[in-house]
Amino acid sequence: MFTLKEEFPQYYNYQGRRTSKKLSNSNINLLNNHYYKYTLDKKIIDYHKVKDEKKKINFNKSNFSQINLEIGFGDGEYLLRSAYSKPKELFIGVDVYINGIVKVLKKILEHGIENIMLSNVNCLFFLDSLASKSIDNLVIINPDPWTKKKHHKRRLISFQNIQLFNHVTKYKHSIKITTDSASYVEAIQEIFNKKKEFLDELKFEILNKSDDLYGISRYQRKAIEKGQNIYLLTI
Protein backbone atom coordinates (compact mmCIF):
# COMPACT_ATOMS: atom_id res chain seq x y z
CA MET A 1 0.00 0.00 0.00
CA PHE A 2 2.63 2.52 1.08
CA THR A 3 4.74 1.84 -2.00
CA LEU A 4 1.91 3.03 -4.24
CA LYS A 5 1.32 6.11 -2.09
CA GLU A 6 4.98 7.02 -2.18
CA GLU A 7 5.24 6.50 -5.93
CA PHE A 8 1.94 8.19 -6.87
CA PRO A 9 1.11 10.67 -4.05
CA GLN A 10 -1.00 12.84 -6.37
CA TYR A 11 -3.80 10.24 -6.35
CA TYR A 12 -4.00 10.17 -2.55
CA ASN A 13 -4.11 13.92 -1.87
CA TYR A 14 -7.28 15.29 -0.30
CA GLN A 15 -8.28 18.22 1.91
CA GLY A 16 -9.15 16.64 5.26
CA ARG A 17 -7.87 14.22 7.87
CA ARG A 18 -5.95 11.11 6.84
CA THR A 19 -5.26 9.66 10.30
CA SER A 20 -6.62 10.38 13.77
CA LYS A 21 -3.61 8.83 15.47
CA LYS A 22 -0.28 7.39 14.42
CA LEU A 23 -0.53 3.89 13.02
CA SER A 24 1.06 1.17 15.15
CA ASN A 25 3.66 -1.13 13.64
CA SER A 26 1.13 -4.00 13.72
CA ASN A 27 -1.37 -1.93 11.73
CA ILE A 28 1.30 -0.92 9.21
CA ASN A 29 2.16 -4.61 8.80
CA LEU A 30 -1.54 -5.41 8.41
CA LEU A 31 -1.84 -2.92 5.55
CA ASN A 32 1.36 -4.07 3.88
CA ASN A 33 0.45 -7.76 4.12
CA HIS A 34 -3.28 -7.75 3.35
CA TYR A 35 -4.56 -4.47 1.89
CA TYR A 36 -3.50 -5.34 -1.66
CA LYS A 37 -5.91 -8.31 -1.68
CA TYR A 38 -8.93 -6.08 -1.15
CA THR A 39 -8.09 -2.87 -2.96
CA LEU A 40 -8.73 -1.34 -6.37
CA ASP A 41 -5.97 1.27 -5.98
CA LYS A 42 -3.57 -0.24 -8.51
CA LYS A 43 -6.28 -0.50 -11.18
CA ILE A 44 -7.24 3.12 -10.56
CA ILE A 45 -3.66 4.33 -10.90
CA ASP A 46 -3.05 2.13 -13.96
CA TYR A 47 -5.99 3.82 -15.68
CA HIS A 48 -4.85 7.34 -14.83
CA LYS A 49 -1.31 6.69 -16.02
CA VAL A 50 -2.51 6.05 -19.59
CA LYS A 51 -6.12 7.37 -19.65
CA ASP A 52 -7.12 4.44 -21.83
CA GLU A 53 -10.89 3.86 -21.79
CA LYS A 54 -10.27 0.12 -22.05
CA LYS A 55 -8.56 0.24 -18.65
CA LYS A 56 -11.55 1.75 -16.89
CA ILE A 57 -12.88 -0.43 -14.09
CA ASN A 58 -15.96 -2.36 -15.15
CA PHE A 59 -17.90 -4.85 -13.06
CA ASN A 60 -19.98 -6.34 -15.90
CA LYS A 61 -18.30 -9.72 -15.52
CA SER A 62 -18.73 -9.74 -11.75
CA ASN A 63 -20.70 -12.55 -10.12
CA PHE A 64 -22.28 -10.12 -7.66
CA SER A 65 -25.94 -9.19 -8.12
CA GLN A 66 -25.34 -5.48 -7.42
CA ILE A 67 -22.36 -3.15 -7.14
CA ASN A 68 -22.60 -0.65 -4.28
CA LEU A 69 -20.23 2.23 -3.59
CA GLU A 70 -19.82 4.20 -0.37
CA ILE A 71 -17.68 7.34 -0.46
CA GLY A 72 -16.22 8.38 2.88
CA PHE A 73 -17.07 5.28 4.92
CA GLY A 74 -15.28 6.52 8.07
CA ASP A 75 -15.10 3.68 10.60
CA GLY A 76 -16.97 1.40 8.20
CA GLU A 77 -20.15 0.90 10.23
CA TYR A 78 -22.57 1.12 7.31
CA LEU A 79 -20.20 -0.58 4.87
CA LEU A 80 -19.73 -3.61 7.13
CA ARG A 81 -23.38 -3.88 8.11
CA SER A 82 -24.43 -3.78 4.48
CA ALA A 83 -21.87 -6.41 3.45
CA TYR A 84 -22.94 -8.72 6.29
CA SER A 85 -26.63 -8.47 5.38
CA LYS A 86 -26.23 -8.77 1.58
CA PRO A 87 -23.50 -11.33 0.84
CA LYS A 88 -24.47 -11.61 -2.85
CA GLU A 89 -23.78 -7.92 -3.46
CA LEU A 90 -20.38 -6.20 -3.72
CA PHE A 91 -19.69 -3.21 -1.47
CA ILE A 92 -16.85 -0.84 -2.36
CA GLY A 93 -15.63 1.62 0.24
CA VAL A 94 -13.52 4.66 -0.65
CA ASP A 95 -11.93 6.78 2.06
CA VAL A 96 -8.68 8.69 2.60
CA TYR A 97 -8.98 8.04 6.36
CA ILE A 98 -6.36 5.34 6.91
CA ASN A 99 -7.51 4.40 10.41
CA GLY A 100 -10.92 3.54 8.94
CA ILE A 101 -9.26 1.38 6.29
CA VAL A 102 -7.45 -0.50 9.07
CA LYS A 103 -10.66 -1.07 11.08
CA VAL A 104 -12.55 -2.44 8.08
CA LEU A 105 -9.62 -4.57 6.96
CA LYS A 106 -9.44 -6.16 10.42
CA LYS A 107 -13.16 -7.04 10.25
CA ILE A 108 -12.75 -8.48 6.75
CA LEU A 109 -9.99 -10.78 7.95
CA GLU A 110 -11.69 -11.63 11.25
CA HIS A 111 -15.00 -12.64 9.66
CA GLY A 112 -13.79 -13.86 6.27
CA ILE A 113 -15.84 -11.24 4.40
CA GLU A 114 -15.60 -11.72 0.64
CA ASN A 115 -17.83 -8.95 -0.71
CA ILE A 116 -15.92 -5.78 0.26
CA MET A 117 -13.32 -3.91 -1.79
CA LEU A 118 -11.48 -0.83 -0.53
CA SER A 119 -9.70 2.21 -1.90
CA ASN A 120 -7.64 4.88 -0.17
CA VAL A 121 -7.38 6.97 -3.35
CA ASN A 122 -9.02 10.41 -3.62
CA CYS A 123 -12.62 9.58 -4.52
CA LEU A 124 -12.65 11.86 -7.58
CA PHE A 125 -9.79 9.91 -9.14
CA PHE A 126 -11.63 6.74 -8.18
CA LEU A 127 -14.90 7.84 -9.83
CA ASP A 128 -13.10 8.99 -12.96
CA SER A 129 -11.56 5.53 -13.36
CA LEU A 130 -14.95 3.77 -13.41
CA ALA A 131 -16.71 2.77 -16.60
CA SER A 132 -19.99 4.54 -17.32
CA LYS A 133 -23.06 3.11 -15.52
CA SER A 134 -21.01 0.60 -13.56
CA ILE A 135 -22.47 1.30 -10.08
CA ASP A 136 -25.97 0.31 -8.92
CA ASN A 137 -26.07 2.38 -5.72
CA LEU A 138 -23.92 5.22 -4.40
CA VAL A 139 -24.06 6.30 -0.75
CA ILE A 140 -22.34 9.28 0.90
CA ILE A 141 -22.97 9.49 4.66
CA ASN A 142 -22.38 12.87 6.27
CA PRO A 143 -19.64 14.31 4.05
CA ASP A 144 -17.61 17.15 5.55
CA PRO A 145 -19.80 20.28 5.20
CA TRP A 146 -16.78 22.63 5.23
CA THR A 147 -18.87 25.27 6.99
CA LYS A 148 -16.48 28.22 6.52
CA LYS A 149 -17.29 30.14 3.33
CA LYS A 150 -13.65 30.13 2.20
CA HIS A 151 -13.73 26.32 2.33
CA HIS A 152 -16.98 25.80 0.36
CA LYS A 153 -14.97 24.97 -2.76
CA ARG A 154 -13.72 21.86 -0.93
CA ARG A 155 -17.21 20.41 -0.60
CA LEU A 156 -17.68 17.02 -2.21
CA ILE A 157 -21.21 17.75 -3.39
CA SER A 158 -20.82 20.20 -6.27
CA PHE A 159 -22.43 20.48 -9.69
CA GLN A 160 -19.34 19.03 -11.38
CA ASN A 161 -19.16 16.10 -8.98
CA ILE A 162 -22.89 15.39 -9.22
CA GLN A 163 -22.38 14.98 -12.97
CA LEU A 164 -19.61 12.49 -12.18
CA PHE A 165 -21.91 10.60 -9.77
CA ASN A 166 -24.58 10.41 -12.46
CA HIS A 167 -22.08 9.19 -15.03
CA VAL A 168 -21.04 6.13 -13.01
CA THR A 169 -24.48 5.15 -11.58
CA LYS A 170 -26.96 3.08 -13.57
CA TYR A 171 -30.28 4.45 -12.42
CA LYS A 172 -32.04 7.65 -11.50
CA HIS A 173 -32.43 8.18 -7.76
CA SER A 174 -29.68 5.66 -6.94
CA ILE A 175 -27.47 8.27 -5.22
CA LYS A 176 -28.17 8.84 -1.51
CA ILE A 177 -26.49 11.55 0.57
CA THR A 178 -27.06 12.24 4.26
CA THR A 179 -26.01 15.31 6.23
CA ASP A 180 -26.85 17.06 9.49
CA SER A 181 -25.90 20.44 8.01
CA ALA A 182 -28.95 22.49 6.99
CA SER A 183 -26.71 25.00 5.20
CA TYR A 184 -25.17 22.18 3.14
CA VAL A 185 -28.66 21.02 2.16
CA GLU A 186 -29.52 24.56 1.05
CA ALA A 187 -26.31 24.75 -1.00
CA ILE A 188 -27.12 21.45 -2.75
CA GLN A 189 -30.68 22.57 -3.43
CA GLU A 190 -29.29 25.79 -4.90
CA ILE A 191 -27.15 23.75 -7.34
CA PHE A 192 -30.30 22.08 -8.65
CA ASN A 193 -32.29 25.32 -8.71
CA LYS A 194 -29.70 26.80 -11.06
CA LYS A 195 -29.96 23.80 -13.39
CA LYS A 196 -33.67 23.64 -14.20
CA GLU A 197 -33.34 20.39 -16.14
CA PHE A 198 -32.23 18.67 -12.93
CA LEU A 199 -35.04 19.88 -10.68
CA ASP A 200 -36.97 16.60 -10.80
CA GLU A 201 -33.83 14.60 -9.99
CA LEU A 202 -33.48 15.77 -6.37
CA LYS A 203 -35.59 14.31 -3.57
CA PHE A 204 -35.28 15.71 -0.06
CA GLU A 205 -36.51 14.42 3.30
CA ILE A 206 -35.72 14.40 7.01
CA LEU A 207 -34.84 10.94 8.28
CA ASN A 208 -36.53 9.35 11.29
CA LYS A 209 -35.34 6.63 13.67
CA SER A 210 -36.75 3.79 11.57
CA ASP A 211 -34.77 4.73 8.46
CA ASP A 212 -31.86 2.51 7.43
CA LEU A 213 -29.43 5.42 7.14
CA TYR A 214 -30.39 7.08 10.45
CA GLY A 215 -27.79 7.09 13.23
CA ILE A 216 -25.44 4.84 11.28
CA SER A 217 -22.28 6.93 11.82
CA ARG A 218 -20.78 8.52 14.90
CA TYR A 219 -21.07 11.93 13.26
CA GLN A 220 -24.80 11.37 12.86
CA ARG A 221 -25.10 10.22 16.47
CA LYS A 222 -23.33 13.36 17.68
CA ALA A 223 -25.77 15.46 15.67
CA ILE A 224 -28.76 13.50 17.00
CA GLU A 225 -27.55 14.02 20.60
CA LYS A 226 -27.55 17.77 19.90
CA GLY A 227 -31.14 17.55 18.60
CA GLN A 228 -30.18 18.18 14.96
CA ASN A 229 -32.03 16.68 12.00
CA ILE A 230 -30.47 14.14 9.66
CA TYR A 231 -31.34 15.01 6.07
CA LEU A 232 -31.48 12.58 3.16
CA LEU A 233 -31.00 13.79 -0.39
CA THR A 234 -31.67 11.35 -3.20
CA ILE A 235 -30.42 12.10 -6.71
**In the prediction, which pLDDT does 202 show?**
84
Helices (DSSP H) in 56-132: which residue ranges?
77-85, 98-111, 123-128
Number of domains in the chain: 1
Query: Measured between alpha carbons, how far is residue 225 from residues 141, 205, 206 in Å?
Result: 17, 19, 16
**In the prediction, which pLDDT does 218 show?**
87
For residue 174, what are the domain limits? 2-234
**In the prediction, which pLDDT does 1 show?**
62
CA pair distance 161, 44, nearest whole angstrom: 18
Within 10 angstroms of residue 226's Cβ, the number of other Cβ atoms is 8
For the CA atoms of the chain, what is the radius of gyration? 17
The least confident of 123-127, 129-133, 148-152, 199-203 is 199-203
* CATH number for the domain harbouring residue 44: 3.40.50.150
Residues 94, 71: contact at Cβ < 8 Å? Answer: yes
CA pair distance 168, 171, nearest whole angstrom: 9
Residues 89, 66: contact at Cβ < 8 Å? Answer: yes
pLDDT tens for residues 184-194? Answer: 999 998 888 87
CA pair distance 207, 86, nearest whole angstrom: 23
Q: Which residues belong to the active site? A: 144
pLDDT tens for residues 194-209? Answer: 766 555 678 889 999 9
